[in-house]
């Protein structure tokens, strides 16, 4: 039956705007320019995508490897080929029937070295609050003695001055000519007019910026940044003038047809995400726009956001966890406890502790600013004056730690919605458990302030400080969640590391097929044009690495035995400095990256472990690395990869799990590509890629090899290995989406679960106006299926009619069909109705 529920109008692009059916993400850079991508267009068109999805293209900081550190919103990066290169790519794409969509960064710009590359920021540093760009940046000029903090020094300012490391200089700047500057090694800063002739120390003190030791940033930073990254300064796109200036070029590229749509980076960092998206919809005449939004478990996209949907993290973890065996949870929890000491129910406590560390450390400056705002509000109102600075800080800290999502959506001057009230109230109730009863009244006042309610003297609901507190609290919530959970807890929790993914819910461990299909049915009518994905440039592991690790849940006892043997084999060279968490992360990482050809390269593994250890912040950090500890871990990792005993154990494990990995690899990919929404393929993942977190997942892709492989399959050759099989599944699913788009995207597409008799099957149909046109059958938990002896007489109920399996090129008659016969060649089937 067709779902008659209407799709919310805010989720629909304008009727005349192009909408992707599928996208292919490319990571642009000096080694992958517009012309390089244009050369790949024939392959991408053959693969079956409809749109090439570009990473940021505006001019970024010198040496940028990702493009999210923009310095000039009016220029397409010359490194990538400039505007002419972009036009050539657009022309090549259009000639092949493809469009372009673009990733843009509205929340922040770079603080480059040297700063003059960011002209607006250079102006602010030169002229301070009088700069015509002062309103661009979220600077608290009342703090830091009225100077913008520049925490770039390698030592305290007194020592730097004493050693003569700060000098006057003149630099010939493009567009500015010969300009007097203050130099600190590669850093150059403007000199405030009228201070050039002062003594060096006095001149430094008189600038509109305060040069400081880099460690000062966490405690005294007075500008908003991206999370805790001081080199990414936030901008105020809520100001119409700033929005216009930073979006002019991108909007022109949409208007002239160069681009078809946009992906919005980190909208939760904005002052008013709903307002921004509304303005963007109007300015783009209703273009297709999706947002990088992390939704926590049951959280839904705010109803007042003008967006087609998210970039798909909520699909990613649900699909993955539908292919995780819940029966393995207890055994794996016991193993984790034996190796690491962490209890099976310890995730929530671990996340709370991590958030406390972040609030007290890297984000202390943000908490201090929030507290100062709240204290100023109370100090100015007689009825609130007895709520002290310290009591407000205590309440804010506990509230930030208790908050369970990236933000509540409260807009100053607007009545908060019931969900925002519920979320803030629930967090406050949890926070009270860690506060003395005397703090209760202060918490009440704080919650009222954060909800924009009247509190204190009669009629007081608005004001500059009250509005700023409402906004800044929400912006800080996101930073605490990102740094405390995503970038700390997810590197500490080792129950099944594949579950610790961006936007994931590792505490859920596994989902039933029923839960996945129920979510998909809802997604079909709430966000039919949102994205689905399995890998992105931000995921901590590629989909295939996660799949291999996920299979541990299907063989938990065998995995436990393997870990026992690995620990015994590595004991002679595994230093006592190596802690259980990192050791267990090592074994799972090797399992996730050990393919038929053997292990991951040692340099890639050690680079990943270095990042993972520092992000976990248990024994070492980016700012205070423990060299002895890190060396012990990395030495153990290198020796393990070379150890014949370890190699023999993992080689046997790879062979033992090959069937289960095959089923999960092909099953998760086919489900992702046929679920409701716009399917995204991250570069290179059309074949198995054992990648880890960035920058490992941004390594070059051998497109020529992929094109040759696809051409061989298209010429009729049968798949020779898992790479061929995944490419076959990916290309055939993408081509079917392209050829029968009405079954996959849009308001006429539908989603219909199909009945089956086996718990190891996942099956559904895609419908057009209620009529089944495509059917999907996938194997889940292949190892468990093997233990049961295969499919036996289990069946799946296909809709009536004649069907063609595009993966095996054979006909299937609808009705009750034996699963074993349907999946005798591949563990998945993709069927299209003959008349389609």
Following DSSP, what letter does each residue of 424-493 receive, concatenated? HHHHHHHHHTTS-GGGHHHHHHHHHHHTT---SSTT----HHHHHHHHHHHHHHHHHHIIIIIIIIHHH-
Question: Among residues 421, 420, 378, 374, which one has the least CA distance to residue 397?
Answer: 374
pLDDT tens profile 677-693: 999 999 999 999 999 99
Residues 336, 338, 339, 342: what is their CA dihedral angle, to the nearest 10 degrees?
A: 60
Check whether 455 has a pLDDT greater than 90: yes
pLDDT of residue 836: 53
Contacts (Cβ under 8 Å, ≥6 apart) of 364: 218, 219
Could you tell me which residue, 5 or 351, shows the higher pLDDT? 351
What are the beta bridge partners of residue 762?
778
User: Tokens in use for 671?
Assistant: 């489900």
Check whether 657 has a pLDDT greater than 80: yes
Domain architecture of the chain: domains with CATH: 19-107+237-311 (3.20.20.80), 115-234 (3.30.1590.10), 351-489 (no CATH)
pLDDT tens profile 743-752: 999 889 999 9
Check whether 517 has a pLDDT greater than 50: yes
pLDDT tens profile 131-172: 999 999 999 998 778 899 999 999 999 999 999 999 999 999
Contacts (Cβ under 8 Å, ≥6 apart) of 109: 69, 70, 71, 118, 120, 121, 232, 233, 235
Do 398 and 431 touch, CB atoms closer than 8 A? yes
Residues 183, 72, 241, 461: what is their CA dihedral angle, to the nearest 10 degrees?
A: -70
Put the strands of the sheet holding 187-190 in their side by side order. 166-173, 177-184, 187-190
Query: What is the reported pTM?
Result: 0.96
Do 673 and 665 touch, CB atoms closer than 8 A? no
Put the strands of the sheet holding 229-234 in their side by side order. 108-110, 229-234, 225-226
Handedness of CA 593, 598, 602, 603 (dihedral sign): negative
Beta-strand relationship, 771-779 and 225-226: unpaired
- What's the CA gap between 119 and 137, in Å, rounded? 12
pLDDT of residue 747: 85
pLDDT of residue 2: 43
User: Tokens in use for 172?
Assistant: 């010939």
DSSP annotation string for 620-632? --SSS--HHHHHH
Compute the average pLDDT of residues 118-129: 97
Check whether 1 has a pLDDT greater than 50: no
Do 307 and 301 touch, CB atoms closer than 8 A? yes
pLDDT of residue 458: 85
- What's the CA gap between 739 and 735, in Å, rounded? 6
- What's the CA gap between 631 and 637, in Å, rounded? 10
Check whether 3 has a pLDDT greater than 60: no
Q: How many CB atoms lie within 10 A of CB 590?
A: 21
Question: Among residues 30, 107, 17, 20, which one has the least CA distance to residue 69?
Answer: 107
Phi-psi region of 575 (alpha: psi -120 to 50; beta: other; left: phi over 0): beta
Compute the average pLDDT of residues 800-816: 97
pLDDT band at 268 (very low <50, low <70, confident <90, very high): very high
pLDDT of residue 459: 85
Q: What is the DSSP letter of 9?
A: G
Q: What 3-state class would DSSP assign to 7?
A: coil
- What's the CA gap between 346 and 725, in Å, rounded? 39
% of the chain beyond a pLDDT of 70: 99
Do 312 and 533 touch, CB atoms closer than 8 A? yes
- H-only helix segments in 573-702: 580-593, 602-616, 627-642, 644-674
Q: What separation in angstroms does the CA of 121 have from each of 135, 234, 665?
A: 11, 11, 47
Compute the average pLDDT of residues 627-649: 98
Do 38 and 92 touch, CB atoms closer than 8 A? yes
Compute the average pLDDT of residues 223-229: 91
Q: What is the DSSP letter of 312?
A: S
pLDDT band at 175 (very low <50, low <70, confident <90, very high): confident
């Amino acid at each position: 039956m067709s779902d008659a529920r209407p799709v919310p109008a805010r989720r629909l692009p304008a009727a005349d705007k192009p909408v992707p059916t599928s996208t292919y993400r490319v990571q642009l850079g000096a080694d992958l320019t517009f012309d390089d991508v244009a050369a790949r267009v024939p392959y991408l068109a053959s693969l079956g995508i409809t749109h090439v999805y570009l990473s940021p293209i505006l001019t970024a900081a010198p040496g940028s490897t990702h493009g999210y550190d923009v310095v000039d919103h009016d220029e397409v990066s010359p490194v990538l080929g400039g505007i002419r290169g972009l036009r050539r790519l657009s022309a090549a794409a259009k000639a092949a029937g493809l469009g372009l969509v673009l990733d843009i960064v509205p929340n922040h710009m770079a603080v480059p070295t040297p700063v003059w590359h960011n002209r607006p920021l250079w102006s602010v540093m030169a002229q301070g609050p009088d700069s015509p760009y002062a309103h661009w940046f979220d600077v608290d000029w009342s703090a830091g003695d009225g100077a913008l903090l520049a925490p770039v020094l390698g030592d305290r300012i007194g020592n730097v001055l004493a050693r003569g490391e700060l000098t006057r200089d003149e630099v010939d700047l493009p567009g500015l000519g010969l300009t007097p500057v203050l130099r600190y090694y590669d850093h150059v800063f403007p000199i405030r007019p009228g201070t050039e002739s002062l003594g060096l120390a006095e001149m430094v003190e008189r600038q509109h910026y305060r040069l400081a030791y880099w460690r000062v940033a966490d405690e005294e930073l007075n500008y908003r940044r991206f999370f805790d990254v001081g080199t990414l300064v936030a901008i105020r796109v809520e100001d119409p003038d700033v929005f216009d200036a930073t979006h002019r070029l991108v909007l022109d590229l949409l208007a002239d047809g160069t681009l078809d749509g946009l992906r919005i980076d980190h909208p939760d960092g904005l002052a008013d995400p709903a307002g921004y998206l509304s303005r963007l919809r109007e300015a783009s005449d209703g273009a297709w726009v999706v947002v990088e939004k992390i939704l926590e478990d049951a959280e839904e996209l705010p109803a007042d956001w003008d967006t087609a949907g998210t970039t798909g993290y909520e699909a990613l973890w649900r699909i993955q966890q539908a292919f995780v065996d819940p029966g393995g949870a207890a055994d794996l929890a016991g193993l984790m406890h034996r190796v690491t000491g962490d209890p099976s129910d310890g995730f929530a406590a671990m996340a709370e502790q991590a958030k406390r560390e972040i609030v007290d450390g890297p984000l202390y400056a943000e908490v201090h600013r929030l507290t100062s705002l709240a204290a100023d509000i109370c100090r100015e109102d007689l009825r609130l004056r007895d709520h002290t600075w310290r009591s407000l800080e205590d309440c804010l800290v506990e509230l930030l730690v208790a908050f369970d999502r990236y933000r509540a959506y409260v807009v100053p001057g607007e009545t908060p919605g019931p969900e925002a009230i519920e979320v803030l109230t629930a967090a406050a109730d949890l926070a009270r458990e860690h506060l003395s009863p005397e703090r209760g009244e202060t918490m009440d006042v704080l919650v009222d302030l954060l909800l924009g309610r009247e509190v204190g003297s009669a009629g007081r609901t608005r004001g500059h400080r009250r509005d700023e507190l409402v906004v800044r609290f929400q912006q800080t919530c996101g930073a605490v969640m990102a740094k405390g959970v995503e970038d700390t807890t997810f590197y500490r929790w080792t129950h099944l590391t594949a579950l610790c993914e961006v936007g994931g819910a590792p505490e859920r461990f596994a989902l039933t097929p029923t839960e996945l299909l129920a979510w998909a049915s809802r997604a079909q009518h709430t966000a039919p044009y949102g994205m689905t994905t399995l890998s992105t440039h931000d995921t901590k592991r590629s989909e295939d690495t996660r799949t291999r690790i996920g299979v541990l849940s299907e063989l938990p006892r065998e995995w436990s035995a393997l870990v026992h043997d690995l620990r015994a084999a590595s004991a002679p060279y595994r230093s006592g400095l190596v802690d259980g968490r990192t050791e267990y992360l090592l074994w799972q990482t090797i399992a996730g990256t050990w393919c038929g050809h053997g292990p991951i390269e040692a340099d890639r593994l050690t680079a990943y472990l270095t990042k993972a250890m520092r992000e976990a912040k248990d024994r070492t950090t980016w700012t205070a690395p423990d060299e002895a500890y890190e060396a012990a871990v990395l030495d153990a990792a290198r020796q393990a990869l070379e150890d014949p005993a370890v190699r023999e154990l993992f080689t046997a494990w790879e062979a033992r799990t090959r069937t289960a990995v095959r089923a999960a690899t092909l099953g998760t990919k086919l489900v992702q590509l046929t679920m409701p929404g716009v399917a995204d393929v991250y570069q290179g993942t059309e074949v198995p890629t054992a990648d880890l977190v960035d920058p490992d997942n941004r390594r070059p892709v051998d497109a020529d090899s992929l094109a040759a492989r696809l051409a061989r399959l298209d010429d009729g050759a049968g798949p020779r290995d898992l790479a061929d099989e995944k490419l076959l599944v990916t290309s055939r699913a993408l081509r079917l989406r392209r050829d029968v788009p009405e079954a996959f995207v849009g308001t006429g597409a539908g989603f219909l679960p199909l009945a089956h008799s086996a718990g190891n099957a996942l099956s559904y149909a895609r419908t057009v106006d209620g009529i089944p046109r495509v059917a999907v059958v996938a194997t889940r938990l292949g190892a468990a299926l093997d233990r049961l002896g295969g499919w036996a007489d289990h069946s799946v109920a296909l809709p009536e009619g004649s069907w063609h399996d595009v993966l095996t090129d054979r006909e299937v008659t609808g009705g009750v069909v034996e699963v074993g016969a349907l999946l005798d060649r591949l563990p998945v089937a993709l069927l299209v109705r003959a008349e389609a």
